[in-house]
Amino acid sequence: MKSASAQQEATRVTLIGMWLDLALGIAKIFGGIFTQSFALITDGIHSLTDAITDIFVLVVARIAHTEPDDEHPYGHGRFESLGTIGMGVVFFTTAGILLYDSYQRLLESASIPIPALSGAAIALISIASKEWIYQYTIRVARRLNSSLLKANAWHSRTDAISSIAVLIGIVAAYQGYIWMDTVAAIFVALIIAKIGWELCTDSLRELVDTAIPLPRQRQLQDCILAIDGIQGITSLRSRLSGGKIILEVRLLVDPRITVSEGHQLGETVSRALTGNFSDIGDVIAHIDPETHEEAAITIPHQSALPDRQQILANIKNQWQEFLSEDDIDNISLHYLENGIEVDLTINMEEISEQLARQLQQAIQRFHYIANLRIYSKLYEARLDQPLA
């Protein structure tokens, strides 16, 4: 678990990067207009898209992670996916417009103005400050062991490369290769298109319920199987919502444990997963009774077994000449692969062999009953009540 101060430091380095992108974006767009460098303007737009992405992550993601409500019982994660796609489309369109403009400029390259060399100075400032934020972010990322911050740091390196292209374009254009400024702009526009593409594809994968990668699935399975009482996993379904994993897992457990114990095991699995992995959003556990390998073919038959009400009516009817309603304390049914096991508890101190045989013979006609166990209820102690 990350401590609060580590989280604060991660937020601070992201915020500094965002403000830097905002400042660089505005400086490069105005600088590009004044020095007549199209590449510099494009790089300014690139920095602005980076700043907008950071603002989106900081503000919208927070809204998306609000608790589920009546109208959105699965939470608000998909709002983030939808917002990200919208943003990706805007970036993609921006890149398209910039590429079209560049194409137009290449066609009329004779009439476009030569950029001023002072534009190169702005590009140099951009390269230097981007390299500085890379060094700062990567240091924090290594200390916190944060892969997200590491990715952010490497993005800053890419931004520096983008500005290097602009610098080369401006210097070359100043020396007479005017089209080089436009080529640099095309290079930067393609980077913006790539950002837009990645934002869209990641969120689209989320929206069409793509499973998490196989190695991740195996990692979660190993965590579940390490829990005492879990005998196997029948199926594991995963999807993402707002970057968090939603997991539906079918757990194999001993068929004779009680419902509350099965529920408890489900809770244990849920706690283990959310405790060990920070990206688990929700775990839905389904409890399956374990059946033997060779009995797998009889499972369809299991669902065809009569329900509890019908079975109780049938067997009580057969037992009425031996047992009164008051004699029966409890009847538990176990739906197993070879049929139903009946656990009968009766309010008698002693059960004669004759009675046991009679009860057994009375229900033998029901082919779906596989086994009968009879218990006598001798004593029941409520531990929350003082002894008399």
Q: Which residues bind Zn ion (CB under 5 A)?
A: 50, 159
Element (DSSP H or E) covering residue 65: none
**Beta carbons within 10 angstroms of residue 304's beta carbon:** 7
Rounded Cα gap, residues 270 and 249, in angstroms: 10
Residues 278, 230 contacting (CB under 8 angstroms): no
Rounded Cα gap, residues 248 and 209, in angstroms: 13
**Identity of the residue, 48 or 240, whose beta carbon is nearer to Zn ion in the bound complex:** 48
**Identity of the residue, 50 or 206, whose beta carbon is nearer to Zn ion in the bound complex:** 50
∠ CA 306-351-312, nearest 5°, is 15
DSSP 8-state code for residue 280: E
Least Å distance, CB 239 to Zn ion, is 29
3-class DSSP assignment, residue 283: strand
Least Å distance, CB 123 to Zn ion, is 14
Least Å distance, CB 21 to Zn ion, is 8
Least Å distance, CB 203 to Zn ion, is 18
Least Å distance, CB 165 to Zn ion, is 12
**Identity of the residue, 21 or 290, whose beta carbon is nearer to Zn ion in the bound complex:** 21
CA distance to 220, 221, 272, per residue, from 215 (Å): 9, 10, 18
CA distance to 57, 346, 374, per residue, from 352 (Å): 74, 12, 11
**Identity of the residue, 54 or 80, whose beta carbon is nearer to Zn ion in the bound complex:** 54
**Identity of the residue, 38 or 91, whose beta carbon is nearer to Zn ion in the bound complex:** 91
**Dihedral angle sign, alpha carbons of residues 172, 173, 175, 177:** positive
Least Å distance, CB 125 to Zn ion, is 16
**Identity of the residue, 159 or 337, whose beta carbon is nearer to Zn ion in the bound complex:** 159
Rounded Cα gap, residues 93 and 307, in angstroms: 60
Least Å distance, CB 263 to Zn ion, is 49
CA distance to 126, 259, 265, 305, 360, per residue, from 291 (Å): 65, 17, 18, 16, 25
Least Å distance, CB 159 to Zn ion, is 4
**Identity of the residue, 75 or 169, whose beta carbon is nearer to Zn ion in the bound complex:** 169
CA distance to 252, 256, 290, 298, per residue, from 294 (Å): 16, 19, 12, 9
- CA neighbours closer than 13 Å in the CB half-sphere of residue 357: 3
Tokens of 38: 């199209």
Least Å distance, CB 230 to Zn ion, is 45
Residues facing 346 on adjacent strands: 328, 376
**Identity of the residue, 20 or 220, whose beta carbon is nearer to Zn ion in the bound complex:** 20
**Beta carbons within 10 angstroms of residue 219's beta carbon:** 13
What's at 125, amino acid-wise? I
**Identity of the residue, 50 or 181, whose beta carbon is nearer to Zn ion in the bound complex:** 50
**Identity of the residue, 99 or 370, whose beta carbon is nearer to Zn ion in the bound complex:** 99
Least Å distance, CB 122 to Zn ion, is 16
Q: For the packed helices 38-64 and 179-207, what is the interaxial angle rounded to 10 degrees?
A: 20
* Closest alpha carbon to 345 in 360, 366, 327, 369: 327
